A and B are shown apart, each in its own frame.
Chain A
Amino acid sequence: MKIQVRYFASLREALGSQEAMDVEAGTTLGALRDQLIARGGEHARCLARGRAVRSALDQVMADDTAPLHDRAEVAFFPPVTGG
């Protein structure tokens, strides 16, 4: 499945604003995060388990259990601080 991964705020500064990826059918949001961590380097540091990272699927807040679909838009970002 082709998906788009976007990063915001401190994650965007470290990882870039977005990238296109190809993932296997059935991949969940949490499994995608683990794949990105497995790259090592900045991805492993920024997305490490235990760090406060929030995520969205198709522009709605979502957790690790969310199943991805073809052309999904996934985003990773730090806790929000607006208002």
Chain B
Amino acid sequence: MPRSPVTIQQADFDLSAEVAALRDGDAQVGAVASFIGTVRDRSEGSSVSAMELEHYPGMTERAIESMIDEARQRFHICSVRVIHRVGALMPRDQIVLVVVTSAHRHDAFQACEFLMDYLKTQAPFWKKETTPDGARWVDARQADDAALARWGLKMDNAA
């Protein structure tokens, strides 16, 4: 029974270890594409000193697993790994990892971007930033809805 491709955790992650695990024993892989999202120290014109990430346990994993199923319908990919951190994070910390392996680069690049566009607007995570004016919930961006719409998916989040 293979482990789930999705992990929600407080702990940090290691890109090299995750790539190695995904490639292990799979000689069909000819391309590995990865994305890491990190915490910025500025947002909407304010400095950010800390971030708290909340999620909906259970729904989060289900939502991302169904995104991976959708990616498999659209692209020729071998395997996928998604790790998203929750809890207290600091500027420069890693937040999210998406790794996709494929026979060729085009599908790996595309699937990685597709999964991030999908996750940004459809996975139940919420960020709260600490700024000099106090803590505030981050507003969803319509640009993220537009990014998902490029793939032919009209599923508004921010609007």
Q: Which residues of B contact A59 (CB under 8 A)?
A: 56, 58-59, 62-63
Our pick among A9, A54, A77, A82 for the contact of B119 (Cβ within 8 Å) is A82
Asked if A77 contacts B56 (CB within 8 A), the reply is yes
**In the complex, A61 Cα to B124 Cα: how many Å?**
9
Known: A9-B137, A52-B158. A83 touches B59 (CB 8 A): no
Question: Which A59-83 residues have C-beta < 8 A from chain B?
Answer: 59-61, 75, 77-83
A-B interface pairs (CB < 8 A), number = 80
**In the complex, A82 Cα to B125 Cα: how many Å?**
5
Interface mask (B97-129 → A, CB under 8 Å = 1, otherwise 0): 000000000000000000010011111111110
The number of chain A residues touching the other chain, given as a range, is: 10 to 19
Closest Cβ of chain B to A72, distance in Å, is: 13
